[in-house]
Amino acid sequence: MPSPFASPSASPSASPTASPSASASPSASSSTVGEDRQLIAELVAPDPSIFWADLLLSAGLGWAAVAAAVVLVPMPLRAAAVVIAVISLYRGLCLLHEISHLRLGSLRGFETAWNLLIGVPLLMPSFIYGASHLDHHKSATYGTLADPEYLPFARGRGRIVAFMVENALMPFVLPIRFLLGSVIGLAIPPVHRFLETHASTLCFNHDYRRTVSPAERSSMKRWEAVMVVGWAATTWLLWDHGVLVQTLMVLAAAFEAIAIINALRTLAAHRYRGDGTTMNREQQLLDSVDITRGLATTIWAPIGLRYHAMHHYFPGVPYHHLRHLHTRVMAQLAEDGAYRRAICPSVSRSLLTLWSGEHRSATASGPDESAPPPTAQNAPTVAGTA
């Protein structure tokens, strides 16, 4: 397959609003898959020191800021602590995206540590995202009913509004699912099977269905038990020290902010022009968005998420290498290179383009003839995506 990162000397220039199927034609590039692999040859191995430092610093600073927001009396200091908590815990939460792409055994103990430091306290265990997220990358499922993280938002504002409302409700829905629901589900197996199907995956495409294996079911139950026991013990300790209400208020405010920020990031990450048919790698690239400018970008799209188009083309490259890969590609890319059409100057521009329906009439792609027809798997309805 040709590459969108080549120097397309003979290619016609394409409009930024052209559909991915039109833009991703073989004439748009001239390199080979082998050349693509050379681009990332030394960039596929995760650096354990970076992963662990990011996790420990994000969690440590985030929970220290939560504690400060609970005990500090002056409102300006309390507000500042909440802001620090939001930025830090959001960054830590976004590491879940990287966990879903790690090869088994590449970072031993990291997922467990992440669950204990971030997932369990925030009621976002890793099992709600890891396996299902890969369906958002496959050529056979991206943009189809079998993609948990895709809806044709560009075709109407109603879906965008509904998506934002769902995310705003997450701080209230998660305790019901993972505390009350877990207790009932662990005691009554049929209820647990219902929860596995309808409330155990982080997705916003409610037609998606995920198949839960026996091993995944066992892992779910273990982490649900940890959440119930951990939250019960922590709740008792906070109540005993007279700070339960304050802590819950700070957590609710912080998580509400995180949910809204992540929802906006998700909307800005793709063009969402799909018509339900499959897309190959180049079509995915051109239906995705890279926003590489500005300090604010590193806050609202941490852990490499600002290079989302690049990530969809090279999903095996860890987040700490994506900036270097982007710089390498741009240094050798022609002015009419296909990848340039995936770059947007700002998150506001990406969101306004989506809201205005600039691409509403565009068809994102034609069928990928090499891909089998998509089939929906089993499926949850916890809104949002990391």
Q: What secondary structure, in 3-state letters, does 104-159 show?
A: CCCCCCHHHHHHHHHHCCCCCCHHHCHHHHHHHCCCCCCCCCCCCCCCCHHHCHHH
Name which of 157, 149, 116 is nearest 133 in CA terms. Answer: 149
Query: How far from 250 is each of 68, 114, 171, CA to CA, in Å?
Result: 10, 21, 12
Cα separation, 53 vs 294, whole angstroms: 23
| Residues 6 or more apart whose Cβ sits within 8 Å of residue 206 | 379, 381
Cα separation, 307 vs 311, whole angstroms: 6
Cα separation, 343 vs 328, whole angstroms: 15
Cα separation, 2 vs 247, whole angstroms: 54
pLDDT given for residue 336 in this prediction: 83
Cα separation, 297 vs 299, whole angstroms: 5
pLDDT given for residue 91 in this prediction: 98
pLDDT given for residue 34 in this prediction: 57
Residues forming a β-bridge with 288: 270
C-alpha 207, offset from chain centre: 18
pLDDT given for residue 357 in this prediction: 78
Q: Global pTM?
A: 0.85
Cα separation, 152 vs 270, whole angstroms: 10
Residues forming a β-bridge with 132: none
Per-residue pLDDT of the chain (386 residues; tens, 9 = 90+): 456 765 544 343 333 333 444 333 333 344 445 566 777 878 889 999 999 999 999 999 999 999 999 999 899 999 999 999 999 999 999 999 999 999 888 899 999 999 999 999 999 999 999 778 989 999 999 999 999 999 999 998 999 999 999 999 999 999 999 999 999 999 999 999 999 989 999 999 988 888 889 999 999 999 999 999 999 999 999 999 999 999 999 999 999 999 999 999 999 999 999 999 999 888 999 999 999 887 888 899 999 999 999 999 999 999 999 999 999 899 888 888 889 999 999 999 999 999 997 655 444 443 333 333 333 333 333 444 44
pLDDT given for residue 175 in this prediction: 97
pLDDT given for residue 31 in this prediction: 45
DSSP state of 176: I
pLDDT given for residue 193 in this prediction: 94
Tokens representing residue 170 in the block: 């997450």
What are the extents of the domains in the chain?
Answer: 1-6+38-156+236-373
